[in-house]
Amino acid sequence: MIEKIISWSVHNRFFVSIGIALIVFAGLYSIYTTPVDAIPDLSENQVIIYTEWMGRNPQIMEDQITYPLVANLQGIPRIKSVRASSMFGMSFVFVIFQDDVDIYWARSRVLERLSYAQKLLPPGITPTIGPDGTGVGHVYWYTLQGTDYNLGELRAIQDWYVKFALQNVAGVSEVASFGGFQKQYQVVINPNKLVYYNIPLMKVLSAVSRNNRDVGGSLFEMNDTGYLIKGLGYIKSLEDVKNIPVGTYNSIPITLQQVATIQMGGELRLGITDENGEGEVVGGIVVMRYGENAKDVIERVKTKLAQVQKGLPPGVTFNVAYDRSELINGAIDTLKESISEEVIMVSIVVLIFLFHFGSGLVAIINIPLSILIGFILMKTFGVTSNLMSLGGVALAVGDLVDSGIVMAENGYRQLTNQVLHIDDQQPDA
């Protein structure tokens, strides 16, 4: 079989040249389009389900949230296992699928099952599917710095401006905020006053909820002109909260400030974020979408941040906490240098020991062609260009010329023997 292939190649040099040109074109295309990352993504093929029920202890979360979800997610096809974790106010369920399952097919199957499982949860509780990222999807971290702004103001800028802008970047799955204080209107109810005014607690909760919304009043027509009627009721200040009516006492209206203490505060925090031991900071984590090119996503995020910077309040700036593109570029540059040095050294050694330019060229040309074929296969099978895959290419450079040298020497010996045989058959003059 091999002899027939060699014989066909020798007698059809034009088609061999066309094949080499196709390999070069496809290889260069694969090099520039294969996703680039610093490390290989070895994380499991999983879908994360997050459920929040603040104020509940881990045992309640386990009994009323985690257990019903896990029990009803078991029947999904092509799953390996279902894991779960319950903590204060939060429940996490990890559905692990087989490695060859498409991640978006898996997410759709989980959503189908959640539509039924949600009926078994307490009223008002809605499970949420996590972002379509992986364990190594955190490609860019940044912090917000502003000397004249407190942590609550910086967190508001992050949540209501920066986060929404970065989520529109192609390839970004999620922007997770961290640090600072999430502003709240806090109502601390005095139970003794509720008893004194005979106002049920649920009536207070209902009054606060009903008094924080705008309502429509249909259409009012006057002089052949229609006017849209709208009732304004959104809470915009602490005074709006204080003046919410919650009941009556001896025909006198009772407002919320008479039965509770109202203040502006921050949401309960379970930790803080510190940068270099210099104090608390506010920032965000950019999570890359599954299967995206990390290097390209980071470049697009940096471009977007430069645009977002123009809209930040005076004195607020971005500070890069983690940028994986530096590691990616460093790894690629190191491997490029190593591969170039190995190719040059191998070529010199081959030329010296063969001491024949044509034979040496036959062996040397195998090196770039083999590397290009390797990139074509990486592109075909979805292997990213990372430290491990490129390191394997670098290690294989020294072995690529072995077959070329053997074939060149064998061809040279066969041609030499044929020449000597022809010379022996020449009659003596």
Residue type, 288: M
Span 21-36, pLDDT tens digits: 999 999 889 888 888 8
Residue 419: predicted pLDDT: 61
Strand pairing class (172-178; 128-129): unpaired
Q: Is 362 helix (H, G, I), strand (E, B) or coil?
A: helix
425 band by pLDDT with thresholds 50, 70 and 90: low
Span 286-299, pLDDT tens digits: 999 988 888 899 99
Residue 266: predicted pLDDT: 83
Give the mean pLDDT of 60-81.
Answer: 91
DSSP string over 284-331: EEEEEPTT--HHHHHHHHHHHHHHHHTTSPTT-EEEEEEEHHHHHHHH
Give the mean pLDDT of 376-405.
Answer: 77
What are the structure tokens assigned to 303, written together? 């471009």
Domains, the chain, in order of start with CATH, read 15-38+328-425 (1.20.1640.10), 44-133 (3.30.70.1430), 186-266 (3.30.2090.10)
Give the mean pLDDT of 81-90.
Answer: 91
- The pTM score is 0.78
Span 197-211, pLDDT tens digits: 999 999 999 999 888
Give the mean pLDDT of 167-179.
Answer: 91
Q: Measuring CA to CA, how many Å separate 32 from each of 381, 384, 386, 416?
A: 16, 11, 13, 44
Give the mean pLDDT of 124-153.
Answer: 88
What are the structure tokens assigned to 133, written together? 């990222």
**pLDDT above 70: percentage of residues in the chain:** 93
Span 334-386, pLDDT tens digits: 777 877 777 787 777 777 776 767 667 777 777 788 888 888 888 888 888 87
Residue 146: predicted pLDDT: 87
Span 233-271, pLDDT tens digits: 888 889 999 999 999 888 899 999 999 999 988 887 878
**pLDDT above 90: percentage of residues in the chain:** 35
Instruction: Please state, in angstroms and rounded to a whole number, the distance separating the CA atoms of residues 147 and 97.
Output: 47
Q: Which residue has the tokens 């990486």?
A: 378
What are the structure tokens assigned to 282, written together? 């506010």
Residue 64: predicted pLDDT: 93
- What does the buried/exposed string (b/e) look like for 270-294 if buried means 16 or more CB atoms within 10 Å of the residue's CB? eeebebeeeeebbbbbbbbbbebbb
404 band by pLDDT with thresholds 50, 70 and 90: low
